[in-house]
Amino acid sequence: MSIKSSTFGGVYLSGEDAEQFIKQLRDDKPKQAAIDSFHRGQKLLKEYHEKGYVTFCPQNQLPPEKMSPLLLQNLFASL
């Protein structure tokens, strides 16, 4: 079993990893969060096709104490 990847190429799975990956694709059901995200994306796509652009406002932002340190570091680095 191995996983091989490169910066400019694809990912290659073999052995048990490949079998597990195929089983996941075939048998697992998507999580509710993934389904919700898909539906939100569909709304944005519809708006884009109707108007030619999309506007959105992130209203449900996490408070800083719940954000990861890396995310906070990246946010403040861009200021």
DSSP secondary structure letters along the chain: -EEEE-SSS-EEEEHHHHHHHHHHHHHPPPPHHHHHHHHHHHHHHHHHHHHSS------SPPPGGGS-HHHHHHHHHT-
* pLDDT interval class at 31 (50, 70, 90): confident
Tens-digit pLDDT profile for residues 15-26: 888 888 888 888
- State the pLDDT at residue 15: 85
Per the document, the length of the chain is 79
What residue segments make up the domains of the chain, in order of their start? 1-30, 31-79
